[in-house]
Amino acid sequence: MKASDAIIEILKREGVTTLFCFPTTSIIENAVAAGIRPVICRQERVGVDMADGFARVTNGRPPGVFAMQYGPGAENAFPGIATTFSDSVPVLFLPLAQSLDQSQIFPTFVSHRTYASVTKQVEEIRTPGSTAAVMRRAFNALKNGRPGPVMVEVPRDLVDQDIGTDVLDYQPKRRSVSGPDPRDADEAAKLLLEATCPVILAGQGVLYAEASDELVQLAELLQAPVMTTIDGKSAFPEDHALSLGSGGNTFSGPGRLFLYTKADLIFGIGTGLNRHPLTTPPLPKGIRVIHSTNDTRDLHKSYDTEVALLGDAKLTLAAVIEAVKDRLGGKLPNRSPAGEIAAERAAWLKRWEAKLTSKESPITPYHVMNEFMRVIDPADAIVTHDSGSPRDQLLPFYRATRPRGYLGWGKSHQLGTGLGLAIGAKVAAPSKFCVNFMGDAAFGMTGLDIETAVRCGIPSTTIVLNNNTMAIEIPHMKLSHDMHKSRDLGGNFSGVAKDLGAWSERVTDPNEVANAILRAKRQNEDGRTCLLEFVTSAETAFSHRGGGVA
C-alpha cells in the first residue's frame, strides 16, 4: 500500500467523508478513488474556514480535514489555521511538502516548522513506514484534551512509496475523558449555594462535550443565570428564562446587569476565561471565581480562582449537579432571578426598538437582523457572523435555541471568515438553513468562494450588509477620509454573485427585507446558493458594556 492510500484509508476509518482542499496534491485523487467527496475551494484560507465550520457543527466527530499543496498552498492557509487554533477547533491539515532531500534547504517553506505556533500538534512523515503511527498520533490529538488543529506534513516524494501492510491494523481510538476531583466538585457546590447571585459563564467546551442538557439542569437547580462566551453561544438555549445571552464586545441588557451589577460569584465552565474582550466578557474586578476547564494551562491564567475543576465539561457538570443535590437535600435555593431577567430584557429591547423596527432607508442593519429573527425559526438554522460590525450587532440580539445553532468566533478575527464557516456548516448539516451575515469589506476578502458553494452544490445563504464604507473606522480615519475618502468601499455584490452562478437579490426597500429572506430560504431548499445584498446605513451604535443605545 502506498503512503497516500494509507492516509486516505485511515481517514475513512475515522469517519471522514468530505475532503476540503485545493490542488495540487495527489491526496485528492486518492480520496476520490476511495469514495471521499472533494470540495475544492477558490483559495486556501476559505477552504480552511469550510473545514472549520464543518468541525464545529460535528463537534469534531469527524473532524474537518483540509489538504493543500506545498509552498503557496500552505502559505495561503495560515490565517484560517490561526483561527482554528485561537478558537480551539479540531481540524486536520494535510499539506504536501517538498521532497525530503529539498525540504530543509533555504529558503524552502516548511509547514511543520512554520505552523508549530498555531497548531496543537504538527508532525512530518519522515519515512513511509511511519505513516500509520503519525496519523494515529494526529487523531489522538484531535480527539483528546482541548480541541485544536493538528497538522501532518506529507513530503511529495513519499506519497507514492510503499509502506507495507501495517495500516491494515489501524483501529480508530475512542475519545478519552476524565472528571474533576469529587472534593473540588463539592467545594464548588458549597460556594454556588452560599452565593447570593452566582452567574454561570459557559464556553464552547460545553458544546464539544455535548453537555447542554447538564448545563440547563444545573442552572435550574441553582436558579442561576447563564451567560455564554461568543465561542460558546448556543451552549445554553437563549429562549430559556435564565439566559443572559452571550457576552464579549457587546452584551444584552440582562447580561450587562447581572454580570456587572448583581453577580457575586462566577462559575466558568468549558471556557479558558481568556482576557479577550471581543469574545469573552471581562469579569468584574475582585469577583470570586470557580473555573472548570480541560486544559491545565487555563487554570489561574487570567483570574485568581477559588476552586479549579479540571476535566471534561459534561462530567464536571454531572459531578457538580450531584454535589448540589446532596447539599440541597430536596430543597430549592431561595432565589428566582427569571422575573428580573425578563423585565430587564424587555426594558433593553424597548430602548433598541426604534433601530430594530426602523423603516429608514438606507436600511439599518438592526432591522435586517430583526426581520431575520422574526421570520426564521432558530431551531431550523445555523447562523454565523463575520468580523467587526456584523458580529457586534447580531450577537446580543440573536437568540440561539439549539446547540451549534450559532457559530460564534472571533479571537483571531480575519474579515471574510464567516463565508467559509457557513459553507462548511451546510456540508455537515444539509437540512439546516445555513446563513452568514457579513459586511461589504468582508465580502471583498473572500466573496469569490460563493462560486465554490454553487459549483459543489452547497446551498447556503450569504447576507451582505453593504453600507459602502468602513463605518466602524469612522472615529479612527477622519483625516484620511476627509482628504482621500479612505473609508469608502463600493460594489454591486448581488451582481457579482449572480455572475458566479448564485441566486441573488439587491434590496433597498426596508419593507421587503423579510420577504427577501424567505425567498432566499426557498431557493436554498431548491438547492441553490444564495446571496442577499441589503443596502444599509453606516450604523455605529452597539449594545456595549457601557455605550451605544445601552
- Domain regions of the chain by residue span: 3-169, 182-340, 357-535
**Confidence band, pLDDT 50/70/90 cuts, at residue 336:** very high
The pTM assigned to this predicted structure is: 0.95
CA dist., res. 348 & res. 254, Å (int): 8
Q: What is the pLDDT of residue 466?
A: 95
Q: What does the pLDDT read at residue 91?
A: 98
How far is the CA of 118 from the CAs of 88, 92, 274, 442, in angstroms? 10, 13, 17, 23
- The domain defined by 3-169 folds into Rossmann fold (3.40.50)
Q: Supply 150's cell numbers.
A: 493538528
Q: How far apart are CA 100 and CA 105, in angstroms?
A: 10
- DSSP 8-state secondary structure symbol assigned to residue 286: T
- Whether omega for the bond prior to residue 24 falls within 30 degrees of 0, making it cis, is yes
Cβ(269)–Cβ(261) below 8 Å: no
Dihedral sign, CA of 86, 92, 98, 102? positive
C-alpha to C-alpha distance for 159 and 161, rounded to whole angstroms: 6
CATH homologous superfamily for the domain 357-535: Thiamin diphosphate (ThDP)-binding fold, Pyr/PP domains (3.40.50.970)
The residue ranking higher by pLDDT, 422 or 99, is: 422
**3-state DSSP assignment of residue 266:** strand
Residues in CB range of 129: below 8 A, 6 or more apart? 163, 164, 166
**Which fold is adopted by the domain 182-340?**
Rossmann fold (3.40.50)
Listing DSSP states for 361-404 in one string gives SSBPHHHHHHHHHHHS-GGGEEEEE-TTHHHHHHTTT----STT
Per-residue confidence band for 148, with pLDDT thresholds at 50, 70 and 90: very high
- pLDDT reported for residue 472: 81
Paired strand residues for 151: 93, 122
pLDDT at 423 over 70: yes
Q: State residue 238's pLDDT score.
A: 98
In this prediction, residues 423-427 reach a mean pLDDT of: 98
Higher-pLDDT residue of 496, 474: 496
Sign, CA torsion 24/30/33/36: negative
CA atoms within 13 A on the CB side of 209: 33
> Which three cell numbers, joined as nine digits, stand for 2?
502506498
Q: Is the pLDDT of residue 166 over 70?
A: no
Return the bridge partners of 152, or none: 123
Mean pLDDT, residues 186-210 taken together: 98
Of the chain, the end-to-end C-alpha distance in Å amounts to 63
Question: Model confidence at 310, in pLDDT bands (50, 70, 90)?
Answer: very high
Residue 297: pLDDT above 70? Answer: yes
Q: Grade residue 278 by pLDDT with cuts at 50, 70 and 90.
A: confident
Q: State how far the Cα of 370 lies from the Cα of 301, in Å rounded to an integer.
A: 38
Cell output for 118:
498555531
Q: Cis bond leading into 63, ω under 30°?
A: no
pLDDT at 286: 94
Helices (H) and strands (E) in the chain, counts: 21, 18
The pLDDT score that the predictor gives to residue 1 is 86
Angle, alpha carbons 334-403-447 (nearest 5°): 135
pLDDT score, position 89: 97
Contact 89, 55 (CB under 8 A): yes
CA distance 306 to 324: 17
Q: Flag whether pLDDT at 311 surpasses 60.
A: yes
Cβ distance 309 to 292 under 8 Å?
A: yes
Q: Return the bridge partners of 64, or none.
A: 91
What type of residue is 193?
L
546 Cβ contact partners less than 8 Å away, ≥ 6 residues apart:
none
* Mean pLDDT score, 155-184: 88
Q: How confident is the model at residue 549 (pLDDT cuts 50, 70, 90)?
A: low
Cell of 172: 480508530
Mean pLDDT (the chain) is 94
CB 510 within 8 A of CB 537: no
Percent of the chain having pLDDT more than 70?
Answer: 99
Mean pLDDT computed over 95-113: 83
Q: Hey, which of 33-37, 111-115, 330-334 has the most confident mean pLDDT?
A: 33-37
User: Would 3-169 and 182-340 be classified into the same CATH topology?
Assistant: yes
C-alpha cell at 539: 450604523
Query: Which parts of 396-529 are beta strand (E)?
Result: 406-407, 433-439, 461-466, 503-507
Per-residue pLDDT, 24: 82
Kindly indicate the confidence band of residue 470, based on its pLDDT and cuts at 50, 70 and 90: confident
Beta strands in 113-209 (DSSP E): 121-124, 150-155, 198-202
Checking if the pLDDT of 326 tops 90, the result is yes
Place of cell 498555531: 118
Residue type, 454: V
pLDDT tens by residue, 364-384: 999 999 999 999 999 999 999
